[in-house]
Chains A and B, each alone.
Chain A
Amino acid sequence: MTRPTDPSAIDGKLAAPEARADVLVIGAGPAGTAAAIEAAAQGAQVVLVDENPVDAQLMGLDTPLLFGGRMSGAVQRGGRLIEALVAANPALEQAAELGVDVRMGVTAWGLYVNGQGLRALPAPMVGLADADRSWMCGFDRLVLATGARDVALAFQGWDQPGVVGAAGLHALLQRYDAFTGRRVVVLGSGELGIGTALMAQGRGLEVAAVIETLEHSPASPEQLATLAAAGIPLLTGHTPRRAEGGRDGVERLVVTTDRGGEITFDCDTICLAVGLAPAVELLNAAGGRIVSDGERGGHAPALSGWATSLPGVFAAGDCAGLTASEAEAADQGRQAVRQALGRPAEGAPRRGADAWAYQRAWHGALTRDADPSLIVCQCEAVTRGDLLELRAPRYLGEPTAAAEARNLGSLIADGPPNQDQVKRLTRAGMGPCQGRRCREQVALTLAQAAGVSPADVPLALHRPPVRPLPLKVMADWNETAAMTEGWEIWFAIPGQWAAYDDIGTEREFVTPFGGEG
C-alpha cells in the first residue's frame, strides 16, 4: 500500500536528469582531463565538461577568474577560442579519441545529492548550462576538478581595468591568447608570484617588478635565483599604495616602504598573486564538508583519499588543495578516478605554505592606514569603512543615531565573526560577481576586527547557481507534468487563508486563493 502524499509537496515533481554519465568530470584542466582519460580507459562512459571559453560578459564580471578587463576582442569569438583551447591542451584530443564526451563552453552551476534536508532527487545530478540553455546531468561518480580561483585584495585604485589575478592572467595568456596588457607589476613573491612573473615574461610581457610586502620573500632560493636570472627586480618590504590610471585603466603603481619612500612603476597591468583559493563552490553549495586548511590553500574539501563527504563525489587537482605542477594535478585526477571506480588509489593533496598567514600579512599591510573610502566589494560599492562601521547601503538613507552606534566590533561582541551576517547587513559579497572579488578580503577583515586567525572565520556559504546565469538560460522550459499540475504558491493547506471570521463557518474552506502575501 502506498502512503498518502501531499499533492503540493515536491515528491515526484523533479525531473529525472536529461543526460547521464557513469563518470562526470567537471573541469578540463590537467586533473580533469587525466581523470576523464583514466575513466574511459577503465571502460566507463565519461562526460567531461569545461566552462571555457567563458562568455565574454561573464569575464567582464570577473567570473570565474579576476580577468581585470584586460581581455582582447578575441574572447568574443567562441568557435575560434575552442580551437585555441584544444590546441593548448593536447590531452583533450586523446580523451575524445577514447570516447570521452568532451563539452567545452559548458558551465557546471549546481551539484545536487540527496542528503540532509533534501531527499526528493530522482538521482544525484549536476546542473549544466551553455550560452542558451541549462539541463541536468545525472552521474554515478563525479570528479570535481574545478581548479582554483583568484584571491583579490583591495588597494586604492584596484577597482579599475588592469588589476588582474594570477589565475586570470594565466588563463588570458596561456589558454585564450587574448591578453591586451604589455607591462605588468606582480604583487606577491611566493611560488605563485614568481611563477606568474616568469610565465608572463615567457609570454612576451615586460615584468616591471615583483613586489613583496614581507621583509623576505617566502620563495625558495632556487626560485629567487631563477627570478634574478630572468632580470626581474624583486622589491621586498614594499607595499602597494595606489594604482593610478586613466580612461583605459591602470597606468602606474605607487609602492612605499615602511620608511616612507615612494616608488612609481609605469605599467598597464597589476597582477594580484598573493593567493589562489581552491574552487569549492559546487561542493560547498551541495552541503559537502569543507575544512579550513591553510596548507591546502584555504577552505578545502574534507577528503578521505580523494573522496569528499558526499557519496560518489571525488575531488582532484587544485580544488582539492593547490598543486605545484600540471603533472601532479594529472596524477591526482587519475588516482581520484581509480578510487571512484573502487580500485586501489594512492596519493594525497599537496600541502604547501600556510595560505592564511601569507594572505593575512598582505591584507594587514594593504589595510594599514587605508582610507575608509577604499572599495572592497565592487558590485555593491561597499567600502572598508562601511564594513568596519557595519553601515547599511546608502540607498536606505541617512543612518539613525542608533545605527551609527553599531559597528563590526559591536556585532562581534554579540557572537563569533560570521561573514554571512555581515554580508546581509552591508551587502558585501551580494552582487552579480557572487562575492568572487571580495569573499576572502571580507573574511580577512572580520578576522582582523575580531583578533582571530582567518582560519577561524567560517566560510561564507556558496549557493547555487555558482555562476551568475540569466533566468532564461536557467529556466526549465520542459518541466514535468507533475510539477506543472502540482504547483502551488505556498503549502496549500486547506483553510489556511480563510478569513479569521470564517473559521468554523461554512465559508472556512471556500475562501479563494490568497497568496503568501
Chain B
Amino acid sequence: MADGATKGASVIVVGGGVTGLSAAWWLARSGVDVLVLDKGVVGWEASGRNGGGASHYHSPLFHEEQRLWPQMDALLGYPTEYQRERVIFALTESDLAAYQGMAAEGRKLGYSVSDLDAKQVRELVPMASQANLGGVHLHYGGHANPQRTVQAYAWALQDLGGRIAQHAPVSDIVEAGGRVVAVETPAGRIGCDALVIAAGPQTSMLLAKVGLRLPLGFGRAEMIVTEPAPLMKIGGVDGNGLYGRQTLRGNLAFGGGPHEWIEMTLDGPAARPTSPLTRNLARRVAELMPGAAHLRLIRSWAGVIENTPDGRPVLDRLENPANMVVATMSSVGFGLSPATGHAVRDLVLDGRCSFADLGKLKLSRFENIRDDWLEQRGWLPPEQRATSAPPSWE
C-alpha cells in the first residue's frame, strides 16, 4: 500500500474495478475526497477481462451509457479505445429473428438500427461467412478496451486528487449509530463518512459484515484472442453465439458459451483458468468468419463475475447503514460503467439518481429468497471429480 493511503477519506470505495473506479472518479469530479481500496491490482478481475461491449438497451442506465461513451477519452484524458457501432449477423433463421427483435428494442428507445442483407454484412465484416443470412447494424453502442479503460479511470481519478490503495483488502466494516464509520484493512482502520461497496463477487461477503444478505452466484466465463487481422469497418461483431470485438491493433477477441459456477472467498478467486472450451470458441469464430479461420489463436482468458438471482444489478443507497451504497452489476458491468459511476455518485451525494429510475434495482427485492436458492437454480460448482485415476496397469 502506498504511503498516505491509510489516511481516512470522505468516501471510501471498496473495489477497484470499473464500477468502483468510475464511481470514485465521478465523486472526485464533484470535489469529494475519495479513496479506493482494492484487494489486489486495479481492474485485475472481470473489469479487465471481458468483451468490452457498450450496447445495453435493457438497462435503465442505457441512455447515459450511450451519452457518455463518445466523450470518455476526452473526459478521462486517457485512451479507452472506444469505437461506436456494432454489427450482429446470423447464420441461422432463429438467430436472425432474435437479432431483429433486439434491434426493435433499440429502435423503441429512439436509437438508429439498419437491417443488413448478407452482402451488406460482408461489406462491414469482410471475413464474414458468405452463407450469412443478414443481420443488424446498430448505429449506437460499440466497444472499448477493458484494460485501457480501467487504467484510464484509475489515472483520471488520481489526476483529480483521488487516492487508490492497491493490495489493500477490506476485512471488516465498522459501524456506529446506524452508520459506517470505518473499514478494517491490513494497514489498520481507515475512517470514512460514506462507503461504497463495488467489490464484484466480494460484495456479498462484505455486506454480510454488516448483517445484510446479497444473494450472489459466481461464474467463470472464457474468451479467446487471435493475432491481428486487417481492420474491419466495424470492430464490434456478434453472432453464432458469440460476442466480440476487433481491437484497434486488429486482434479478434471473442467469448460466449457455457460458464462454470465456482466457489468464492473474500480473497477472490484462487485462479482464473480457461478450459478446452477454447476449441469450441475457436470453431464458432471460424464459422462466423471463415476469412479469419487461418488466424493464429494466441491467448485465452477467463473472468470471474457475480450474478444476482434475476441477473440484474443492485444499485442501492441503503437505509441501514444509511451512508452505504451497494453497486453490483450482475455480470454486465464494463460497458455501463461510465453511467454506473454517475449513478453511484448521485446516490452517495444526493441520495437518489438524477438521470434514471433505479427503483427496481434495490437490494430489498431479494429479502425473501430461500437460503438454498443457489442449489435450486443449479448454480453450484460441478461436482468434484477425481483429479487423476490410479494407474490402470497396476
Chain A interface (Cβ within 8 Å of chain B)? Answer: 3-11, 13-15, 22, 43-45, 110, 112-125, 127, 134, 136, 139-141, 285-287, 311-312, 341-342, 380, 392-393, 395-397, 400-403, 406, 413-416, 418, 421, 424-425, 427, 431-432, 434, 463-465, 468-472, 474-477, 479, 483, 486-491, 493-500, 503-504, 511-517
Contact = CB atoms under 8 A, between A and B. Distances in A.
A120 B220 CA distance: 11
Interface in B218-234: 219-221, 226-228
B18 interface: no
A517 B293 CA distance: 23
Nearest to B38: A415
Given A476-B279, A491-B307, A515-B88, A471 B295 contact: yes
A456 B97 CA distance: 55
B77 to A, nearest CB: 4
Given A414-B2, A432-B227, A465-B297, A496 B259 contact: no
Interface in B230-271: 238, 241-243, 248-249, 255-262, 269-271
Contact of B279 (A134, A139, A489, A495): A134
Given A116-B271, A140-B392, A415-B166, A504 B360 contact: yes
B149 to A, nearest CB: 11
B310 A475 contact: no
A22 B389 CA distance: 10
Contacts of A11: 260, 382
A127 to B, nearest CB: 6
Contact of A464 (B258, B300, B360): B300
Interface in B281-306: 282-283, 285-286, 292-302, 304
Given A45-B393, A490-B221, 6 more contacts: A10-B259, A117-B273, A403-B78, A472-B286, A487-B256, A503-B312
A414 to B, nearest CB: 6
Contacts of B319: none
B31 interface: no
Contacts of B377: 4, 6
A104 B194 CA distance: 63
Contacts of B295: 470-471
Interface string B82-120: 000010100000010111011011001100000000000
A402 B81 contact: no
Contact of B79 (A396, A434, A515): A396
A141 B391 contact: yes
B86 to A, nearest CB: 8
A513 B104 CA distance: 11
A296 B379 CA distance: 43
A395 B155 CA distance: 20
Nearest to A392: B79
B384 A114 contact: yes
Contact of B311 (A14, A43, A493): A493
Nearest to B138: A517
Contacts of A476: 276, 279-280, 282-283
A474 B282 CA distance: 6
Contacts of B159: 402
B296 A432 contact: yes
Residue among A6, A418, A474 facing the most chain B CB atoms (10 A cut-off): A474
28 contacts: A10-B259, A22-B393, A112-B276, A116-B270, A117-B270, A121-B275, A127-B276, A140-B392, A380-B249, A400-B77, A413-B2, A415-B166, A424-B151, A432-B298, A463-B274, A470-B295, A471-B282, A475-B279, A475-B283, A488-B257, A488-B258, A489-B238, A495-B311, A496-B311, A512-B98, A515-B55, A516-B255, A517-B335
A474 B297 contact: yes
A342 B390 CA distance: 10
Residue among A44, A118, A123, A400 facing the most chain B CB atoms (10 A cut-off): A118
A418 B41 contact: yes
Residue among A415, A424, A431, A500 facing the most chain B CB atoms (10 A cut-off): A500
Contacts of A3: 375, 378, 380
B362 interface: no
Contact of A463 (B98, B227, B299): B299
B275 A10 contact: yes
Contacts of A342: 391, 394
A472 B294 contact: yes
A22 B378 contact: no
Contacts of B256: 487-490, 516
B196 interface: no
A468 B297 contact: yes
B368 interface: no
A175 to B, nearest CB: 24
A312 B387 contact: yes
B215 to A, nearest CB: 13
